[in-house]
Structure 1
């Protein structure tokens, strides 16, 4: 099966010079119990997600600690000579920007970048990154996608106004899946399912819409994808692009059947740590295994010492 790749999701920001956020959401006709206000409310806990403004592509970013903001590569690319990050009612100046060395504007592979602010973020806790271990371990997780882009519904596609929203979706496949040929290998993907309409379900994906199903739109680029573990919302991805399979005609611009693509952070944790000194939280089972391993070694040493 072939795919049709669409532009990085913040391309439209250049034309409209907008910096607020949203996503396309379930249309009222498809589920009257779901309202736009529910998507707005769902975004409120994600206080580490802010707006990135300046030349080139506008979009979103996620504060990860101190003066560091994680965003999409195509957003960071034009902020090397300045820009701003707006978070918690405060505006911070971008002092410098770093783009992953393998990223180019020819496509969203390696679409990750970092902004270094002139002063540290104040009064807003940073997002914690989470490492599930192997890249495949993210599959099947229900995630919350947060960013600053266009509104609209799965029936209308992306449109104004701009507003801060979050939506939920199941992480279905990795970008190198054979049925999604040509999509970035450094990404993971979710599709926008329509309630009661199985024809809008993409291959190898969960067919059941989540309560607040949605899709990324222009301006969401650089926003965060979060998974809740033991009651904590952890950052696992950065919004990167929207796309559609050739077989899913009519699914462009955030309509039902469209794809949300995010840079898979587990592939970038070493690079992020090298640049910032900020590490991901290890997967708890692995941490326990390390602890138990240390205890076993200590016990063995004691046996060796005491006979």
Structure 2
């Protein structure tokens, strides 16, 4: 089971964090770099990873990007600073990974990652001025649709995997892929080699956690997923992130619509 979880486990750092887009080896790196029209709804979090502005005062992210108490921490959005007022972790998210899962056969770790709800809400102390939040994708027809994935951090390609020494560059990249699976709480896609890939195919990697995956409807973007982890089959010591054939897991936003809306309405 190959695992790249977009959260940081210092014992297996690469396993638990998607990085800023791993690309096809036969396509120029510059084609994946976002130089203009960066999505205004993508927010950098205090420690690492991203969140997505879904209303003037609320950010959606994956729970494993919340490394400590973020209350009163500041976020820079549209050039202004905003204070985090509250963080709400989904009740079915389990933070502590059993130590026995962090070495040897990957199956127990993969099962652990699959079983939890990797999602969280962040409330800001005041609405974002001139905000451009993205609407949530509420339909359950994600399978076979093309998603557009954004992130910053390390990059690499499907032949060699991700290169951790590129992580500090914090370059915004994007890629595309096709949703191959839609389980109850997860969307999945496979990083195919060029002969089976779509144009600008790629996958998330270390540092991309919580970054948006977008479905376009009539040219309008909707938030369908949040980068979370990658599947690995085998011994954890052999794990290599971002190789062709790897399956990526995204938190499925449509599964959490009621949970999200209930908190925003009642807070």
- TM-score (normalised: structure 2): 0.80
Gaps of at least 5 residues in structure 2 are 98-111
**Residues in 1 aligned to 2:74 and 2:210: alpha-carbon distance in whole angstroms:** 14
The aligned counterpart of 2:142 is 138
Determine if the alignment matches structure 1 residue 163 to structure 2 residue 156. Answer: no
**Residues in 2 aligned to 1:269 and 1:71: alpha-carbon distance in whole angstroms:** 13
- TM-score (normalised: structure 1): 0.70
Gaps of at least 5 residues in structure 1 are 176-184, 197-207, 279-307
**Residues in 2 aligned to 1:241 and 1:43: alpha-carbon distance in whole angstroms:** 28
Change (3 A) 1:82 1:43: farther
The aligned counterpart of 1:87 is 77
1:119 CA displacement: 2.4
**Residues in 2 aligned to 1:37 and 1:120: alpha-carbon distance in whole angstroms:** 35
- Is the 1:76–1:98 Cα contact (8 Å) retained in structure 2? no
**Residues in 2 aligned to 1:85 and 1:235: alpha-carbon distance in whole angstroms:** 21
The aligned counterpart of 1:193 is 192
The aligned counterpart of 2:210 is 222
Q: Residue 263 of structure 2: SS of its match in structure 1?
A: helix
- Is the 2:230–2:249 Cα contact (8 Å) retained in structure 1? yes
Determine if the alignment matches structure 1 residue 127 to structure 2 residue 124. Answer: no
The aligned counterpart of 1:11 is 8
Q: Residue 76 of structure 2: SS of its match in structure 1?
A: strand
The aligned counterpart of 1:212 is 200
1:12 CA displacement: 6.5
- Is the 1:79–1:94 Cα contact (8 Å) retained in structure 2? no
Partner deviation per Cα, 1:183-228 (whole Å, 9 max, x = no partner): xx511100111113xxxxxxxxxxx312111111111111111000
Q: Residue 269 of structure 1: SS of its match in structure 2?
A: helix
Change (3 A) 1:192 1:75: same
- Cα RMSD (Å): 2.7
1:41 CA displacement: 2.9
**Residues in 2 aligned to 1:10 and 1:150: alpha-carbon distance in whole angstroms:** 14
The aligned counterpart of 1:200 is none
Q: Residue 33 of structure 2: SS of its match in structure 1?
A: helix
**How many residues get paired?**
238
**Residues in 1 aligned to 2:65 and 2:244: alpha-carbon distance in whole angstroms:** 26
**Residues in 2 aligned to 1:129 and 1:47: alpha-carbon distance in whole angstroms:** 15
Provide runs of 4+ in structure 1 moved above 4 Å: 12-16
